[in-house]
Amino acid sequence: MNTLSNSPLLERQPRLHGLYTMMLIRAYEERLALLQQNGAPGTCTSVGQEACAVGVISTLDWRDRIITNHRSAAHLLARGADPQRLMAEVLGRADGYCGGHSGSLHISVRELGVVLTSTIVGGGLSLAPGVALAQRMGQGEEGGVVVVFFGDGAACEGILHESLNLAVQWQLPLLFVCENNQWQAYVHRLETMADDAIYRWACGHGLETQRIDGNDVDAVSAAARQSVAAIRADGRPRFLELLTYRQRGHLEPDDLAYVDHAERERWLKRDPLVLMRERLRAEGVLQDNDLAAMQQQVSQRIDAAQNFAESSAWPDPQQLLQHVYA
């Protein structure tokens, strides 16, 4: 799965590779945010949530399927998507993964196993049991697991409970991953939910749940590895709630006027990239010159992505009716 970097150092060190991927996601999103200040179509960035995506997806293999949502870039990049084609899609260009039909909000890349991306909040939760059922009934690769990413806001849609109940009842190989990033667009999640914990909602449906520090990529990957192994072993669903924070606005550009800045500051002190970088440094795994090399490679790839995307053609309007029906 890893098409990310050919560097022998990164290959030897999966955790370094994880840091590198988080850096790539951060740089990709920040570049898009910059472009959006100059009028490119808006996107929902994953800045602050890189450890959730990298932690979970690094534990998957080629057999597995991923369902994501409007905030998908981290999931896609962690799965090895090409930043050039991703950025081209966000800009609505012909070379984008979906030929410009999607734009930023519904990017799926079937060849990477990132299937059925819906920007309808909770949309992925309604589809996930079906993808897992097909897996269970022999349509996927033996042992494959389906992972559905959704937000704390999506957890408020009734479909969460329908989806959980069915997955448990039908014993579907499905990992529910709730990225609780504290925000539901412009509303803080504590304003919309009586209970502080989403994993407790899932508990009632009778599946194993865990609540994890979503800014600690080691903790996320440990929990995900254990959950995925358990699903592969017994074919039953599991649930992870990852506590994290959406550092940027809901949709770029966003002035964050509605944000509690004290809370934001507390979370910024626990930035997932900084946490991992300092830990790897302290362990002696990461040397300053390696970090500089990684940073340089990331910058080059993002520059290249922007060049590629901006020079890609607009889709031909003649294609308006293409792909409506199979």
Ligand X SMILES: Cc1ncc(C[n+]2csc(CCOP(=O)(O)OP(=O)(O)O)c2C)c(N)n1
Binding positions for ligand X, rule: CB under 6 A: 44, 70-71, 119-121, 151-154, 181, 183-185, 246
* Element spanning 164, H or E: helix 159-169
By beta-carbon proximity to Mg ion, the closer residue of 178 and 280 is 178
Answer for which of 8, 138, 284, 317 binds another protein (CB under 8 A) is: 317
185 binds another protein (CB under 8 A): yes
* H-state helical runs in 38-158: 50-57, 73-78, 83-90, 123-136
Size of residue set near another protein by CB under 8 A: 38
Question: What are the beta bridge partners of residue 187?
Answer: 184
Site string for another protein, 155-184 (x = CB under 8 A): -xxx-------------------------x
By beta-carbon proximity to ligand X, the closer residue of 71 and 85 is 71
Q: Would you call 254 helix, strand, or coil by DSSP?
A: coil
26 binds, among Mg ion, another protein, ligand X, none (CB under 5 to 8 A by kind): none
71 binds, among Mg ion, another protein, ligand X, none (CB under 5 to 8 A by kind): ligand X
> Smallest distance, Å, CB 67 to another protein?
15
- Measured CA to CA, the distance from residue 197 to residue 177 in angstroms comes to 14
Q: In b/e form, how buried is each residue of 212-246, taking b as 16+ CB within 10 angstroms?
A: bbbbbbbbbbebbeebbebbbeebbbbbbbbbbbb
- Measured CA to CA, the distance from residue 255 to residue 55 in angstroms comes to 29
> Smallest distance, Å, CB 186 to ligand X?
8
258 binds another protein (CB under 8 A): yes
254 binds Mg ion (CB under 5 A): no
Q: How far apart are the first and last CA of the chain?
A: 29
Binding segment (CB under 5 A) for Mg ion, from list 34-42, 98-106, 182-190, 208-216: 182-190
Is the distance from CB of 55 to CB of 217 less than 8 angstroms? yes
Contacts to Mg ion by CB under 5 A: 151-153, 181, 183
